[in-house]
């Protein structure tokens, strides 16, 4: 058990937050004063246990929302399993002519800066179809 546990001594609590958030533990117990401060500052953990009245066993077996938590520093970018992980999310875009006039050249420029010429050309094509009389200059390849 001792080889799975990590103890760190820090002079300042701000330093402790940095160490913990970098480590991104699956389970994190905090035994300190001002538990609301810790709750507000800590951001990378699978499940947080605040104060001596809580323990990992409680969270894993009875009080916690789940027992499927991020491991191996995955708490830096993900949280524990919850119903939202099983819900399909759909996104869509719809643009007005006015939005195209603003977004088209920017999209083409960014795409070219990223080396994504095909994306840039689709932006150019939309602009040409929607605004056939307008000369395409900003965002184009021949920019000087």
Residue positions annotated with a catalytic role: 26-27
**CA nearest neighbour of 37 among 26, 25, 23, 48:** 48
Quote the CA–CA distance of 124 and 139 in Å, as a whole number: 8
Burial letters 114-134, b for 16+ CB under 10 A, else e:
eeeeeebeebbebbeeeeeee
**CA nearest neighbour of 6 among 95, 115, 22:** 22
Alpha-helix residue ranges (DSSP H) falling in 24-116: 35-41, 56-58, 97-113
CA pseudo-torsion sign 100, 104, 107, 110: negative
């Amino acid at each position: 058990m001792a080889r799975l546990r990590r103890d760190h001594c820090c002079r300042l609590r701000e330093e402790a937050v940095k160490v913990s958030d970098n480590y991104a533990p699956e389970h994190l117990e905090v035994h300190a004063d001002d538990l609301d401060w810790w709750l507000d500052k800590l951001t990378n953990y699978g499940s947080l246990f605040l104060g001596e009245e809580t323990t990992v066993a409680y969270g894993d077996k009875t009080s916690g929302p789940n027992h499927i938590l991020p491991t191996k520093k995955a708490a830096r970018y993900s949280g524990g399993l919850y119903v939202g992980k099983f819900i399909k999310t759909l996104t869509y875009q719809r643009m007005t002519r006015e939005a195209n006039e603003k977004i088209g050249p920017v999209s083409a420029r960014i795409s070219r800066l990223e080396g994504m010429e095909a994306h840039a050309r689709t932006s150019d094509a939309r602009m040409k179809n929607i605004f056939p009389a307008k000369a395409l200059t900003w965002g184009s390849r021949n920019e000087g």
